[in-house]
A = this chain, B = another copy of it.
Amino acid sequence: MRYGIAIFPSKKIQDEANSYRKRYDPHYALIPPHITMKEAFEADEEEIENKIIPELKRIAKDTDPFSIAIYKASTFSPVTNTIYLKVENSEEIASLNEKLHSENLPGAKEFSFVPHITIAQKLSDEEFSDVHGSLSMLKFDLHDTIDRFQLLYQLENGAWSVYETFRLGQEEQ
């Protein structure tokens, strides 16, 4: 099965992202707005239960909740014409990303980590220039505390279903 790891920010940020995704992102219906922390990787259920989940629990326990901030939209153009809410890079989110690509977990890190929430993708060149023109002018002032990440798996229709939540920091009880 195909698994991935994502952070879902607060409802406020998800609602804001969805106001753009609705028009500009064909993946709008497949998954709520998210920060991809680990790209899709293949694993079987036995490996997920016995190896990957225990490792993710260790990582979560070993990571304190951290803040994120979003001030603007940006793009991966010319590599792809994806437009995203740029999550300001920080030591904390970069470090969590590093841990999620340790040798104890499957899935290679193919790109350097640019924390982001996609709001537009798979646009035609013309659409891209229109949409990018207007989104790149916008200023945002969004803040959130991240205290969990989620392990998801992909259904046959391309949608993602959450398998498990991992709370950052020590368990309270």
Contact = CB atoms under 8 A, between A and B. Distances in A.
A122 to B, nearest CB: 17
Nearest to A29: B29
Interface in A1-38: 1, 8, 11, 14-15, 18, 22, 28-30, 32
Interface stretch (A77-85, A87-95, A154-162): A154-162
Interface residues of A, number: 28
Contacts of A41: none
Nearest to A153: B11
B173 A11 contact: no
Nearest to A172: B54
Provide the main secondary structure of the chain A interface.
mixed
A161 B11 contact: yes
B32 A155 contact: yes
A150 B57 CA distance: 17
A11 B1 contact: yes
Contact of A163 (B1, B18, B165): B165
Nearest to A156: B15
A157 B22 contact: yes
A164 B165 contact: yes
Interface of A: 1, 8, 11, 14-15, 18, 22, 28-30, 32, 54, 57, 148, 150, 153, 155-157, 159-165, 167, 173
Given A29-B159, A32-B159, 5 more contacts: A1-B11, A11-B155, A18-B159, A148-B164, A164-B165
